[in-house]
Amino acid sequence: MSTNEADTSNPYAGREQTLVKHLILEAYLGRFAHIVGNKWKTITYVDCFSGPWNVQSDKLEDSSFSIALRQLRKAKSDLADHGKSLSLRCFFLEKDPDPYRRLREFVDGISDAEVATRNAALEESVQDICDFVKGGGASSFPFIFIDPTGWTGFSIDVIRPLLQLKPGETLINFMTGHISRFAETPDSSTRATFDRLFGSIDYRSRIGHLEGQDREDELAQCYMDAVQRAGGFEYVCSAIVLHPQKDRTHFHLIYATRHPKGVEVFKQAEKKAMSVMEEARAGAQRRHRIQKTRQNEFVFDSKSMRDDEYYQSLRHRYLAAAEGHVLETLVRAKRVLYDDVWGVLSRYPLVREHDLKKWIHEWRSEGRVQLEGLSASDRVPKRGKGHWLVHAREK
Ligand SMILES: C[S@@+](CC[C@H](N)C(=O)[O-])C[C@H]1O[C@@H](n2cnc3c(N)ncnc32)[C@H](O)[C@@H]1O
């Protein structure tokens, strides 16, 4: 995917948030399909809000379903080179007849995957999707992508059966910016749509006293809790996608999995997408400035011009919150499995495992934390090895 702003063929100019969403989907699915394809015979990919939506490419190359299929096909071909056979199955859903027609034309050209499509709303298609997933048999791994345009049509009660698919993983676009603006509307029927989105009214008391970034973060956490509860997921992660020109959140991509490896791969995809996001935002902000002043600035590489103060402030915010959360968990439980600490960390965007390892190093040198279960050859704690963090009681 190109982010070069001088490239007039850039299909993402002016919608850099979609570029970031597609990059995360692409990077995550690329690794996911190779890892899952090594163990499972079939991947069943479900796009519940397929589009195409605002695509620029005649061949729909900048649609989520085309991006996903490219990654799944690449994994299938790479695995075939190693003598492994991976079958691909896709279910593409689209409510609007016009985009559905284009989706159908695209699907008619596919011969290397089993693809089902429906021109219907998600609310009336969940049973069809579950039946299609089951049709993949016991050795099929489903991945569910939910990418709506607002906050309706995917209430927790509607998507619960999809979240409960085992095995299974989910990626959901949570439109934080809009949701934060309207979540406490006095209009009772609109309010009810938010209650359905979260599956309960707990979110109301959790955000009632909050404003700005605190409110957005809490809304995302409320939704992550709702998804985690409904699907019985061990891990829920979020990646923050910023407005291209303004210092505010556009949406969160919420990812839920039952496997710690998924968190690792999602965080790698997030990291890759974040550096492209900051470059693309610098380019978008510069274009905006030029349009406003109608003067040409000297054309620098967007990297060298970038003003990532807002992004860095968010990273510091989430680092502080994650470190506080891990320490609080340790103080409360006294002894915590490293894998569970990883679970706490997974919920914070922009925070990586190397940050956690740095804190643990500092806490150990300050005598606040000890490690247990490491063998002589283990210099740092690792997941899946029975390594524990033990809080040293303050004297
Ligand atoms: C944000 S767009 C999807 C973009 C696409 N995932 C991509 O990244 O290329 C959302 C799509 O969902 C469709 N849609 C809206 N409500 C729906 C519903 N309740 N069920 C299924 N599709 C719906 C819209 O017509 C639109 O095409």
250 close to ligand 1 (CB < 6 Angstrom): no
| Dist CA 384 CA 203 (whole Å) | 34
pLDDT at 372: 96
Length, in residues, of the chain: 395
Tokens coding 88: 């691909």
Provide the whole-model pTM. Answer: 0.94
Q: Is the CB of 147 under 6 A from ligand 1?
A: yes
Q: Give the β-pairing of 114-118 and 87-93.
A: parallel
Q: How far is CA 194 from CA 12, 112, 202, 231, in A?
A: 30, 40, 11, 19
Q: Which of 22, 93, 95 best tests ligand 1's pocket when mutated (most atoms within 8 Å of CB)? A: 95
The closest-lying atom of ligand 1 relative to the alpha carbon of residue 123 is 19
Distance (Å) from CA 147 to ligand 1 centroid: 6
Q: Which residue, 269, 268, 262, 271, is CA-closest to 39?
A: 262
Count CA within 13 A, CB hemisphere, residue 253.
26
Q: 54 in ligand 1 pocket by Cβ < 6 Å?
A: no
- Calculate how far, in angstroms, residue 207's C-alpha sits from the geometric centre of ligand 1: 28
Buried b (16+ CB within 10 A) or exposed e, 242-258: bbbeeeebbbbbbbbbe
**Which has the closest alpha carbon to 263: 143, 337, 145, 349?**
349
β strands within the chain, DSSP E? 42-47, 87-93, 114-118, 140-146, 169-174, 235-242, 249-257, 335-337, 369-372, 388-391
- Tell me the sheet residues that pair with 370: 390
**Low-confidence residues in the chain, pLDDT < 50:** 2-6, 304, 394-395
**Ligand 1 mean position to 119 CA, how many Å?**
11
Q: For domain 16-283, is the CATH number 3.40.50.150?
A: yes
Answer yes or no: are the C-beta atoms of 283 and 19 closer than 8 Å: no
What's the pLDDT at 107? 98
For residue 149, give the ligand 1 atom closest to its CA.
1
Quote the pLDDT of residue 6.
45
pLDDT for 300 equals: 52
Report how far residue 160's alpha carbon sits from residue 175's, in angstroms, rounded to the nearest whole number. 19
Q: What pLDDT is recorded for position 224?
A: 98
The helix/strand/coil state of 290 is: helix
